[in-house]
Amino acid sequence: MTIDWKKEVEQRQDALLEDLKELLCVKSEREDDKVTPDAPFGPGPRDGLLKMLSFGERDGFTVKNVDNYAGHIEFGEGDETLGIFGHMDVVPAGDGWDTDPYEPVIKDGKIYARGSSDDKGPSMAAYYAMKIIKELNLPLSKKIRFVVGSDEESGWGDMDYYFEHEARPDFGFSPDAEFPIINGEKGNISLLVHTPVSNEGEYQLIDFKSGLRPNMVPGTATAVIEVPQDQVDTIKTALEAFVEANPVTASITEAANQLTIELVGKGAHGAHPSAGINAGTYLALFLNEYDFKAGAKNFLQVAAEYLHLDLEGEKLQIAYNDEKMGELTMNASLFSFEKDQKEATVNLNIRYPQGTTEVELKQGLADSIGQFDVTVTEEPHHMTPHYVPVEDPLVATLLAVYEDHTGEKGYEQIIGGGTYGRLLERGVAYGAMFPGYTDTMHQANEFMELDDLFRSAVIFADAIYRLAK
């Protein structure tokens, strides 16, 4: 049977786009202060989940909501289940948008909104691929289950809960990365560096904040300081010179013998720290030139001298490179120093290849910055490296589909990002971004090319059918 998948997608393009717009209007950011029994990650992720499940109900699929943590949309019969994993939660929109991040705008062949490329756009493309197969009533030998998550950008508590109540699919993919395929993912661990909070002398660090999520390069940073009055103008002049010499912008205000410095860099996905400009380490670099003492000095010195621009962990003595998986990357993602607290913290989100371990990472930190009176703890949800061999029939089939529809040679890829593909022993990430795409995930003005949205739906439809027929 020959099926014109491109034609089938073209007939549904308008409907796909309208459903996607509805989904993008949901502000599905995790908000822990708004958690309720029926909204385990806050109202936004719940509402995004419910909206996606409502499309499955409308279109006649079997739909199940697992206590607003996650859910699935399913059809077909068979002893095996093909799983497709998407997520409706998004990282915080942050600053710097040219348009409202939750009012999707189509301009120059792109749809702009938070979640357009990560992961609502790709999820909708995969859902419509599944919908086409159902509407064509094609013969299947396996179940097809679209698992919809709501906490992928934070702790994956959605999937922990889901798999306590539902069986795990036998194999599958997540449309949450790029083509040709992602069949390997580095380990992902967040280590918290704790330093005591204390101030001595005339320079006082009152507050230092930077970062929104462990998996985001912090695009902004703010510090409140007290300094000798005769140094205020000197610091203002120095900040102007610092901005001239570095890829950041800044502002400074004075009130009640305190200076508030706000510094702006560039946010990016934490798996690609080189794509961002870390406002937290740049602000620490500036403040480290002044005569802060005790805990405040330790906090600033670690950030400025050991974390700033050390994206591979060389200064931290954790650098590692694997021939297949590549090098370790490190993102200093969350900074918190408050004068009235006992401890200050910096979250180091580390993506590491096979060949090193969390024990070695912690030891490296202890050896390199232990003299600054630091302690190191591990955040929950540590993920070890994941790899599915290119010879596996799942990988081989997906690469063949990509080659057939693009005319380009498929190849395996290993990334620092973590996708739901690693939830399955035989799980990968597949699309929806094509080689050469502009990566705006976790950044202001996130977008997805409409041509890529529809092309990916074509590839997903053929791939799902080949895997499940």
CA distance linking residue 361 with residue 60, whole number of Å: 49
Average confidence score pLDDT of the chain: 96
Name 163's Cβ contacts closer than 8 Å, sequence gap at least 6.
Answer: 423
CA distance linking residue 459 with residue 399, whole number of Å: 10
DSSP SS3 for 405: helix
CA distance linking residue 87 with residue 126, whole number of Å: 12
Task: Calculate what percentage of the chain has a pLDDT beyond 90.
Answer: 95
Q: What would the 3-class secondary structure string for 207-252 be?
A: EEEECCCCCEECCEEEEEEECCHHHHHHHHHHHHHHHHHCCCEEEE
Look up 152 and say whether it is catalytic: yes
User: What digits encode the pLDDT tens for the residues 212-228?
Assistant: 989 899 999 999 999 99
In the chain, list all ranges with CATH 3.30.70.360: 188-378
CA distance linking residue 272 with residue 284, whole number of Å: 21
User: What digits encode the pLDDT tens for the residues 84-136?
Assistant: 999 999 999 998 999 999 999 999 999 999 999 999 999 999 999 999 999 99
Q: What is the residue whose two structure tokens read 């949205």?
A: 453
In the chain, list all ranges with CATH 3.40.630.10: 5-185+386-468
Q: What single letter denotes the amino acid at residue 319? A: A
pLDDT higher than threshold 80 for residue 1: no
CA distance linking residue 267 with residue 276, whole number of Å: 5
8, 152, 153, 185: the catalytic one is: 152
The residue among 53, 51, 58, 7 whose CA lies nearest residue 461 is: 7
Strands of the sheet with 105-107, listed across from one edge: 105-107, 110-112, 447-449
Residue 108 confidence (pLDDT): 97
Residue 297 confidence (pLDDT): 97
Asked if 78 contacts 141 with a C-beta cutoff of 8 angstroms, the reply is yes
Mean pLDDT across the stretch 165-183? 97
How far is CA 207 from its chain centroid? 27
Element holding 63 (H helix, E strand): strand 62-66
pLDDT higher than threshold 90 for residue 467: yes
> What CATH class is the domain 5-185+386-468?
alpha beta
Q: Where are the alpha helices (DSSP H) in 139-196?
A: 157-165
Determine how many CB atoms are found less than 10 A away from the CB of residue 240.
Answer: 12
User: What digits encode the pLDDT tens for the residues 308-341?
Assistant: 999 999 999 999 999 999 999 999 999 999 999 9
Residue 418 confidence (pLDDT): 84
Residue 155 confidence (pLDDT): 86
Q: What are phi and psi of 413, to 5 degrees?
A: -140, 150
Note the CATH number of domain 188-378.
Answer: 3.30.70.360
Higher pLDDT, 439 or 246: 246
Which band of pLDDT confidence, cut at 50, 70 and 90, is reported for residue 190? Answer: very high
Name 154's Cβ contacts closer than 8 Å, sequence gap at least 6.
Answer: 30, 41, 89, 213
Asked if 384 contacts 226 with a C-beta cutoff of 8 angstroms, the reply is no
89, 118, 151, 178: the catalytic one is: 89
Mean pLDDT across the stretch 437-465? 96
Look up 178 and say whether it is catalytic: no
DSSP class of 304:
I
Which band of pLDDT confidence, cut at 50, 70 and 90, is reported for residue 369? Answer: very high
CA distance linking residue 22 with residue 115, whole number of Å: 12
User: What digits encode the pLDDT tens for the residues 29-62?
Assistant: 999 999 999 999 999 999 999 999 999 999 999 9
CA distance linking residue 330 with residue 316, whole number of Å: 10
